[in-house]
Amino acid sequence: MAEVASRFQQLRDQNEWVDHLVRAGARYTERHGNDHAAAVTYFSVLSLVPVMMVAFAAAGFALGARPAAVERLQHEITTEWPGALGDTLNTIINQAISSAATVGFLGLLAALYSGIGWMTNLRDALSAQWGHLPTPPPIVKRVPLDLLALLGLGLALTVTFALTGLLTGFAAIDAHCPHAAGPLADGIVADSCVTCPLHGRRFDLETGLALNGDESVAVHEVRVDGDELWVRLA
Ligand code: FES
């Protein structure tokens, strides 16, 4: 055992990076890195619930603003899944629309709680690892500061997504699905594709090709000029 220890010490003496890794690991453990990681993870997982609630509410608001699309969607659901499954799905859609405001409000409250908890624990963990702030600030100062940091982080993320969307987010394709003239303008856009609300064919917004079929839609060239958007019809 003593021989292994002395070899290991030799290895550390000969390789600076090994010594650095060992010291980093020891400091991480000494400063309760695992406990802090567990706390941050707990609040990260907890925040999934309000994120889902807000997403559910957003879907409810989006559907509520398009009654014609909802009617078509529910008609298609009933056609594709007649019976109990179709009824259940349609009930979920109706509930999403009718309770969007309540679920969204509760989701935001829960997001506030889990977000502040996440930020507080992240700050404590980083402070502990860096050896700063031996005593945490009083709660009246801490909560507003953490809230501010959380809002700053949220703002930074929003701006990042908005800029990404602005720089990459314009595409123009035909409004009618080649399969059965479904309204592609009402389709959901995700992963550079639009999904036809009638039968679910997905079209790549860059190539116009269907991912799950042989059809394709015409893609029109888009140009952004200052605050104007130009579309050249193909
Ligand atoms: S109309 Fe059938 S998938 Fe679009």
pLDDT in tens, 22-43: 998 998 888 888 888 888 888 8
Hey, is 230 helix, strand or coil?
strand
Residue 107: its pLDDT value, please? 87
194 ligand 1 Cβ < 6 A: no
The residue-averaged pLDDT of 203-222 equals 87
Residue 4: its pLDDT value, please? 83
Distance, in Å, from the CA atom of 162 to the CA atom of 183, rounded to the nearest integer, reads 26
Residue nearest (by alpha carbon) to ligand 1 atom 2: 199
pLDDT confidence tier of residue 167, bands split at 50, 70 and 90: low
| Helix axes 48-64 and 33-46, enclosed angle (nearest 10) | 20
184 ligand 1 Cβ < 6 A: no
Distance, in Å, from the CA atom of 50 to the CA atom of 176, rounded to the nearest integer, reads 36
Asked whether the predicted pLDDT for residue 225 surpasses 80, the reply is no
Query: Which are the contacts of 176, defined by CB distance < 8 A and separation ≥ 6?
Result: 182, 183, 184, 217
pLDDT in tens, 45-95: 888 888 888 888 888 888 888 788 788 888 888 888 877 888 888 888 888
Give the atom of ligand 1 at the shortest distance from the alpha carbon of 197.
Answer: 4
Residue 231: its pLDDT value, please? 85
Among the listed ranges 62-66, 107-111, 217-221, which one has the minimum average pLDDT value? 62-66
Give the atom of ligand 1 at the shortest distance from the alpha carbon of 181.
Answer: 1
pLDDT in tens, 129-156: 887 766 767 778 878 888 888 888 888 8
Residue 65: its pLDDT value, please? 81
Hey, is 65 helix, strand or coil?
coil
Six token digits for residue 75: 């008609």
Distance, in Å, from the CA atom of 156 to the CA atom of 26, rounded to the nearest integer, reads 34
Residue 112: its pLDDT value, please? 85
* Side-chain-facing half-sphere of 10: CA atoms under 13 Å: 6
Distances (CA, A) of 69 to 78, 92, 167, 182, 199: 14, 16, 29, 11, 13
Residue 134: its pLDDT value, please? 60
Asked whether the predicted pLDDT for residue 218 surpasses 70, the reply is yes
Asked whether the predicted pLDDT for residue 210 surpasses 80, the reply is yes
201 ligand 1 Cβ < 6 A: yes
Q: Which of 194, 199, 202, 215 to mutate to test the pocket of ligand 1 (most atoms within 8 A of CB)?
A: 199
pLDDT in tens, 176-199: 899 888 888 888 888 788 898 888
Residue 48: its pLDDT value, please? 84
Residue 203: its pLDDT value, please? 92
The residue-averaged pLDDT of 104-113 equals 87
178 ligand 1 Cβ < 6 A: no
Distance, in Å, from the CA atom of 67 to the CA atom of 211, rounded to the nearest integer, reads 28
198 ligand 1 Cβ < 6 A: yes
Q: Which CATH superfamily is domain 172-232 in?
A: Rieske [2Fe-2S] iron-sulphur domain (2.102.10.10)
Q: Where are the domains of the chain?
A: 2-30, 37-131+139-168, 172-232
Using the mean position of ligand 1's atoms as its centre, give its distance from the Cα of residue 25 in Å: 57
182 ligand 1 Cβ < 6 A: yes
Give the atom of ligand 1 at the shortest distance from the alpha carbon of 199.
Answer: 3
Distances (CA, A) of 140 to 55, 136, 146: 31, 11, 11
Using the mean position of ligand 1's atoms as its centre, give its distance from the Cα of residue 199 in Å: 5
Asked whether the predicted pLDDT for residue 168 surpasses 80, the reply is no
